[in-house]
Amino acid sequence: MQDQNINLKKMKRFPLISIIILAVVNVSFLFLPLISVFGYEFSLFNSLLVTILSGVFAIRTMIYCRSEGRRKTLKELVKGLIILLLVPFIISLINSFFTGFCSFSNGLLFYFTFVFPAVIIGSACGAAALLLWERHKYIVYTLLLFAVALITLYEIYFNPQNFFYSPLFVYFSGTIYDEGLSVDLKLIFYRSANLFYFGILFFAAFFLWYKKATLKKRILLIAPFVLTAGCFVALSPYLGYSSTVRSLSNELDYRIETENFVIHFDPRVSDDEKELIALHHEYYYTELKKYFNEDVKQKIESFIFFDRKQKKNLFGAENADVAKPWLRQLYTTKDNFNSTLRHEIAHCFTSNFGGKIFKVAEWFNPSLIEGIAMAADPFYDDNYIDYVAALAFKNGYKINIRTLFEGLNFFSQNSSISYIYAGSFVKFLVDNYGIDKFKLLYTDIDFEKYYGKKLSFLIEDYKSYLSTWEADNKNEADYYFGRKSIFAKVCPRFIADQLTEAWDFFNEKKYNKAGEMFADVLKMSDNYSALTGLAAVFSQSGRKDSAIYLLKKNLNSYPGTAYFFNLQFQLADLYVVASNYSIADSIYSALQLENPNRTISNLSSMRIALKDFDTLLTIYVNGKNIDKYLILRQLNSKSYNYNSIPSVINLSEVLEENYNVFLKQFDKTLIVNSEASAYAVYKLSEYALKNLDYMRARRLAALSTRYKAEKNFSYIAQEQLKKSDWFYKNFYIKNNFITNK
């Protein structure tokens, strides 16, 4: 009896230690972004922690209570597991009581789906370890957890997928930039399967261990579970819980093989788009081969999804295009290829000099990984990357470049700032010291060793270079960099899901429901999408004055951000609809003067040109796309309004107008004598190239370079001329493409 009491006392020490560990870790979570919120990240990290502690607790309870019988053991085990389950929940509950919930029901659903199965999974692995080899139970337990984790690592490494489902890590959508994340039926089914599988494993191992089964019986018990797990892994691509090259190829079943690529297309992509995208692959490869001074060692496999929704379902990472250098694979959508394809191919080139099994920079340094890809594709929203970096540097968005290249500091601020500075600085190194030195740095981060200078001196040289750029428009800097990192946002996961649902209601014309949801979000956060959504609800419901009041009231909540200029523009449009043309004109004029970016400046200038036709302007602002298009054609009938031409192109494309019909309106000589006209002709060249009109694209690109603009525009115009010239001279290589439908 005394030995039993001693055993029980020893066993009870561990729950106390577990409680202390859980409490300390969860209190520390309260000071971390995202994890402090009672939601996805909180539940994810606690799920892993509770799984580990539950297994150890199950082992100790079974050992120390063995002489008490199975019922007593189970009773003690259940009591301890309930405590492990409640500790994080209570701490978060207390914290949320003082700081506020994003959504208690949403957080509870995450917690129940993630953490409740964790106690069963951990206990099952602990019981199985005890059954398999009691003498070395903790080693076996560790190996079992590692084996479960290894399945996830295997899928991420060898499969195309960027998402994963895992008993240990539960679920990851692909990247942190996909803010919207909720518990859906697919995840509930997966965790239910986890509960069923590991629940049976626990009870089978528990009862067999009590019976002191022979080695043969133990093996016979474990074998079916191993076989079942193997079958699930094999079937998971068909169930949507993983993806393989084969499963992706079944969906993206139109294949084009070029000299350097195997490209998989969704069959809905048109033949012209397939040709254009395939040729872009080869053009970018040619340019990157020159930049890196080498070929990729094998053909790159490229997956082109029809849209972001398909990409999310099959691959993960809805809002970010991705490459896996170690697989030499890249993944993008048909509408996004022209802005990201070169960047992702560049990642595949770095596999030649990347380190270890993932073929990336030392310690997965994100500033080096993304920096070299940005340097190899140095264009950002029709701007040259060094110009955008100079904008940040000269207008209040300086960052510590030294710390940017340390650890995971890349993610500590707005992603645009990190990408731009990392890319521009790496480009500076390559331009001044050559690509070969950077290749050595990539897997051995020692700047002084390879550049003969300390990093601090290299940074000073770089800052001196940025100072040579004319980039003094604070408004433009605010437009590109005045945004919050996901880590600084309030309830980003919950709000993103709420906004998606609200906009769905809006598009279904359920304005009352959409308005309620937008208003609820605004009570939690000064969210731009919710504000514009609520204003749109008011406008569509005939409450123009309410929409104007709402935007005016909240405009100054967004100083120094892109949202401020976008809201000004929307407010001006509302004044037009309300027939208050003088105020609208003053706002358009201010935006034209502020020039936060080309698009807003062009749209404002175009509306100013329409101001002499008040009725026409009202129809344009309030009209359908076809109305807008016809009005702009009328505006350009006698002479070109170059500020309107980018809008003419966009509307023609949205309306799916025949390209040859589109060209008929340009029957007058295009005169390039300003940056506005040069940019308009540049956009026409892009559109011609998109429509496989390579000769016209080259001619227009050459015309756009005639205006001696500041060097930012000169760089993008010269790049378009180089590209269109390559397409004109090399389009015939499409005849060598191998097509397999």
> Which pair of tokens denotes residue 162?
């960027």
Q: Is 246 exposed, middle or buried (0-12, 13-18, 19+ CB in 10 A)?
A: exposed
Per the DSSP assignment, residues forming a β-bridge with 257 are 262, 738
Name the residue among 413, 415, 411, 441 with its Cα closest to residue 426.
441
Cα–Cα distances (Å) from 128 to 84, 125, 137, 197, 457, in that order, read: 20, 5, 9, 13, 58
Question: How much is the pLDDT for 487?
Answer: 47
Q: What's the pLDDT tens digit per position in 161-205?
A: 989 999 999 998 877 656 677 899 999 999 999 999 999 999 999
Q: What's the pLDDT tens digit per position in 375-412?
A: 999 999 999 999 999 999 999 999 999 999 998 889 88
Indicate the SS3 state at residue 629.
helix
Residue 381 falls in which region: left (phi positive, over 0), alpha (psi -120 to 50) or beta: left
Q: What's the pLDDT tens digit per position in 591-617?
A: 999 999 999 999 999 999 998 776 789
CB neighbour list of residue 689: distance below 8 Å, 6 or more residues apart: 276, 697, 723, 724, 727
> Which pair of tokens denotes residue 316?
């993960």
Task: Give the number of residues written for the chain.
Answer: 741
- The rounded distance, in Å, linking the Cα atoms of 670 and 703 is 9
Q: Are 337 and 310 in contact (CB under 8 A)?
A: no
Residue 242 falls in which region: left (phi positive, over 0), alpha (psi -120 to 50) or beta: beta
DSSP letters along 102-169, please? S-HHHHHHHHHHHHHHHHHHHHHHHHHHHHH-GGGHHHHHHHHHHHHHHHHHHHHHHSS-S-EEETTT
Identity of residue 484 = K
Indicate the SS3 state at residue 177.
coil
pTM (whole model) above 0.85: yes
**399-402, Cβ contacts within 8 angstroms, sequence gap of 24 or more:** 401/425, 401/459, 401/462, 402/455, 402/456, 402/459
Question: How much is the pLDDT for 486?
Answer: 53
- The rounded distance, in Å, linking the Cα atoms of 468 and 375 is 19
How many other β-carbons are positioned within 10 Å of the β-carbon of residue 708? 10
Indicate the SS3 state at residue 179.
coil
Domain 249-481 -> CATH class: alpha beta
**Average pLDDT taken over every residue of the chain:** 92
- The rounded distance, in Å, linking the Cα atoms of 350 and 338 is 20
Indicate the SS3 state at residue 261.
strand
Confidence of residue 489 (pLDDT cuts 50, 70, 90): low
Strands 164-166 and 329-333, by their bridges, are unpaired
Q: What's the pLDDT tens digit per position in 522-552?
A: 998 889 999 999 999 999 998 999 999 999 9
- The rounded distance, in Å, linking the Cα atoms of 690 and 683 is 10
Q: What's the pLDDT tens digit per position in 548-587?
A: 999 999 998 888 888 999 999 999 999 999 999 999 999 9
Name the residue among 409, 426, 330 with its Cα closest to residue 373.
426
